[in-house]
Amino acid sequence: MGFLGIQGGGGGGFWLPRAASTGAAPVDALFYFILAISVVFFALIVGLMIFFVVRYRRRAGQGPQPSPAHNTPLEITWSVIPLAIVIGIFAWGFKVFMDLATPPANAYEVQVTAQKWSWLYTYPNGHVDDVLHVPGDRPVKLVMTSEDVIHSYFVPAFRVKRDVVPGRYSTLWFEALEPGEYQVYCTEYCGTGHSDMLSKVVVHPPGGFEKWLEDASNLLNTLPPAEAGERLYRSRGCIQCHSMDGAAAIGPTFRGLVGSQRVMRSGTRLVADENYIRESILEPQAQIVAGFEPVMPTYKGRLKDEEITALIAFMKSLAGEKGEEQ
């Protein structure tokens, strides 16, 4: 029955996407219960409405027929039955919600930092990434905060969502059912790049996560600086606002940036040398290039010196034509 959309094989149904966490099934069961109740009541009301409109439509020479203007037993019935049903739905919704409210004690913990317009994940060993990699064989708990405005962390396949608020921590947990990649959205409106504030959860098969974390943590030691810089560019959120292809986005492009001459909002001109790049990363509001908004968050304390060096090496590798002079 396509319209009611009870779970199709593998990829989810008409109404709900694929259910990929231990918490999803109870939520879906409630969803389909409410859907069934809604369809029954809707059919009842609209069915009666259509029946009355057809049966008692206005006809020449036939007026309304007498009938009572109220009926206490009937009115009590149609008040009490819906009341009982909605209290049932309330209780069910509350129970499932509470069952999923507390993370299990053995959950693997990852810190999440939201900022306009990227998600950054900090692992227990200090590694930072823009994709959430998790082990597939244990629950995962996210401890989340925001650097700027309110964001919201939403993984449809896991049926979880939680606001991420500046100045406080919020938590969310899930246990994935199977390895795979799952879409993450920001669902609290946060400005220009809100709809690009996407991310992924990568659930590893047993053993896979530990290996990934070890490799990922050693970028600077195992890769040439420009390549490590590109990984950082992708994983630390630079890519959300700075393009590689020469097109201006929310921030200036990185192509041809190093060594080019920049015109500031204040009218001054300077050359984008290594120290300028470093200052722009650590104190983004110090100099704003004409034509851009001062929206970049600071990376002071979040990028190590050698990481900044790698990023600069990456930018230099994007030499391009000298198109950014103006």
Partner 1 sequence: MTAQHATQPAGAVSVPMENALGGENYLNHGRGLWSWLTTLDHKRIGIMYLVSILAAFLLGGVFALLLRTELLTPQQTIMKPDTYNQMFTLHGAVMIFLFIIPGIPAALGNFVLPLMLGAKDVAFPRLNLASYYLWVTGALFALVSIITGAVDTGWTFYTPYSTTTSTSVISMVFGAFILGFSSIFTGLNFVVTIHKMRPPGMTWFRMPLFLWGLYGTAIIQILATPVLGITLLLIIAERLLGVGIFDPALGGDPVLFQHFFWFYSHPAVYIMILPAMGVISELMATFSRKRIFGYAAIAGSSIAIAVISFLVWGHHMFVSGQSNLAGMIFSFLTFLVAIPSAIKVFNWTATMYKGSVWLATPMLYALSFLFLFGIGGLTGLFLGALATDVHLHDTYFVVAHFHYVMFGGTVMGFLGGLHYWWPKMSGRMYSERWGRIAALLIFVGFNVTFFAQFVMGSQGMPRRYYNYLPEFTPYHVISTVGSYLLGLGFLIVLVYLIHSLVKGQPAPANPWGGATLEWQTSSPPPHDNFSREPVVDDPYDVERWRWDEALGGYRRQEQPASA
Residues present in the chain in total: 326
- The distance of closest approach from Cβ of residue 71 to partner 1 in the complex, given in angstroms and rounded to an integer, is 8
Contacts of 152 (CB under 8 A, 6+ apart): 161, 162, 163, 164, 186, 187, 188
Segment interacting with partner 1, rule: CB under 8 A, options 84-92, 126-134, 220-228, 235-243: 84-92
- Calpha distance 265→48 (Å, rounded): 67
For partner 1, the closer of residues 190 and 228 by Cβ is: 190
Please give the residues from 269 up to 298 whose contact with partner 1 meets the rule CB under 8 A.
293
* Least gap, CB of 146 to partner 1 (angstroms): 9
Residue placing its CB nearer to partner 1 in the complex, 87 or 271? 87
The encoded tokens of residue 235 equal 């994983």
Tokens linked to 134: 């998790």
Q: Is position 15 an interface residue for partner 1 (rule: CB under 8 A)?
A: yes
Please state the separation of Cα 171 from the chain's center in Å: 14
Looking at the Cβ atoms of 150 and 226, the one nearer to partner 1 is 150
Stretches 81-89, 103-111, 212-220, 230-238: which one binds partner 1 (CB under 8 A)?
81-89
Query: Does the bond joining 117 to the residue before it have cis omega, within 30 degrees of 0?
Result: yes
Structure tokens at 221: 């030691």
Q: Which amino acid is at 129?
A: D
Q: Is the Cβ of residue 1 or residue 69 nearer to partner 1 in the bound state?
A: 69
Q: Which two tokens stand for residue 5?
A: 């959309």
Is 300 among the residues that bind partner 1 (CB under 8 A)?
Answer: no
In the complex, least distance from residue 26 CB atom to partner 1, rounded to whole angstroms: 7
> Based on CB atoms, which residue is closest to partner 1, 95 or 269?
95
Q: Is residue 86 involved in binding partner 1 (CB under 8 A)?
A: yes
Q: Which of 82, 207, 291, 323 binds partner 1 (CB under 8 A)?
A: 82
Q: Does 87 bind partner 1 (CB under 8 A)?
A: yes
Question: Which range of residues in 26-34, 121-129, 202-210, 260-268 is near partner 1 by CB under 8 A?
Answer: 26-34
Least distance in angstroms from the C-beta of 11 to partner 1 = 10
Sign of CA dihedral 59, 60, 61, 63: positive
Give the side-chain half-sphere CA count within 13 A for 197: 24
Instruction: Kindly tell me which residue out of 6, 25, 34, 220 binds partner 1, with binding defined by CB under 8 A.
Output: 34
Q: Dihedral sign, CA of 12, 13, 14, 20? A: negative
223 phi/psi in degrees, rounded to 5: -115, 155
Q: Is 20 exposed, middle or buried (0-12, 13-18, 19+ CB in 10 A)?
A: buried
Q: Least Å distance between CB 74 and partner 1?
A: 8
39 to 78: interface string for partner 1, x by CB under 8 A: --xx--xx-xx--xx--xxxx--xxxxxx-xxx--xx--x
Of residues 149-188, which lie at the interface with partner 1 (CB under 8 A)? 149-150, 152, 154, 156-157, 159-163, 165-168, 170, 183, 185-188
Under DSSP, is residue 144 helix (H, G, I), strand (E, B) or coil?
strand
Of 210, 238, 196, 220, residue with least CA distance to 133:
210
